[in-house]
Structure 1
Amino acid sequence: MNDAEFSLLQLPGIWRAKEGLNVSGCTRQETGHRELDKALNGGFPPSGLVRIRSHLGIGELSLLQSIICQPKSQKLLVFVAAPGLVQAPWLKQLGVDLPQVYVIQPPNDNEALWATEQCLKSGACRMVVLWQTALQPKPARRLQVAATHNHTLCLLMESLQSSRLSLPVTLDLALHPSEQSLYADILKQQGGWPRENIPVRLQHTPDNSAIMKAMAAASPIYSGSSQAG
């Protein structure tokens, strides 16, 4: 090994697969889904740009419930360019402190990127969730640097139908629906290995037994008897 190669390998950003994943001092954010957390070496990274590709409305945000619903703090949770309305009752049900939530609806993708970068650079946000159709590598790098330097998690939500470009992200996930659950593919993760078909179970609605139990416990609105005379 020459001096140039030795100097290169001393850089803190260089990781070699044979060294394994050094998670000491790195606090991961658990998703609450055991198989996924195991494959992610403990959960989501605490900061950086994370891309999640999925079909819209299959439970992609419900998957992130444990991460979105962090202990109360003075930092903000920001949604940028959401494809639908971000409902306050849903956030309240998750346990999110509503005064700490900001929703930004820019008129186009360029302004959405600008708003996201400003939120990350401000240091006032704990998480920024951005929806984009096809983010390019150069602006993705800007978001990655801003998120990492300011210890903020930036979630990039993309459609599976859009072309998948190689981006400088800390974590790259794809979600696929099934009848009983979702399946997650880890396409790339910093300091770890890709993995496919990780089951993620979500319960969107009560089952019949829960409904019947609730009805049995409820008092009847009207009861009485009548006799023919």
Structure 2
Amino acid sequence: MGEIRRRGVVALGVTGLVAPLTRALTAAPAQAASCTTQAGPYQKQVEKFLGRPVDGKQSAADCQAIKAFQDKHGITPDIGYAGSVTWGVMDLMNKQKAVGKNPNKDGACPVNKGRIACVNLTLQLSWIQDGKKLVYGPVPVRTGRTGFATRTGLKKIYWRDLHHVSTVYNVPMPYSQFFDGGQAFHSVGLSMWNPPGSHGCVNMTTKDAKTYWALLKTGDDVFVYGRKPGT
């Protein structure tokens, strides 16, 4: 009975690996074709990010490059339109890259706790540190969408399940390390930049989730801070 209660509590708020139900925040023009001929409001920024000629005008090659980016990261509609969702993902990537190997430059994650896993929701980055020493990361993560926020604050890993399966969504959550109710680090088979986000968990690539599993243990601290863009 105790195990049933525990799994029931853990299930609350867990990330579901369901097909992403994403919607563009900037309405793209309706097109019967698979690639739009219209330039979007972030055309120049998107062209620059993709290494395309920056002229603010949509070309067939621009559209194909934008569409390929959208397909890679699960952004819909994938018609090559340079809207706010597509640019938002690219802008976040730029900000993540600028962090380099000093993710705790602002000192927000505690350095007096020994080993701790830090999660910066604003930059969608996570890393592990020992005091001031960076142990692993930073790595991109995918956290809770609107209505399923990854809760902030200082927490502890209280349960680990290598082969966990969500009892809410009936989907696998490999390398699960739970730190707040049903919220956990775990791997997913999605892009880390796939909008709109998880159902509360901190999604990671399989490589990073495996490394977190090896470096962390029950009782280790987790600190979550900031706010996910768009929430």
Q: Which structure has the highest helix share of the two?
A: 1
State the structure with more CA Rg: 1
Q: Same fold (TM over 0.5)?
A: no
- TM-score (norm. length: structure 1): 0.25
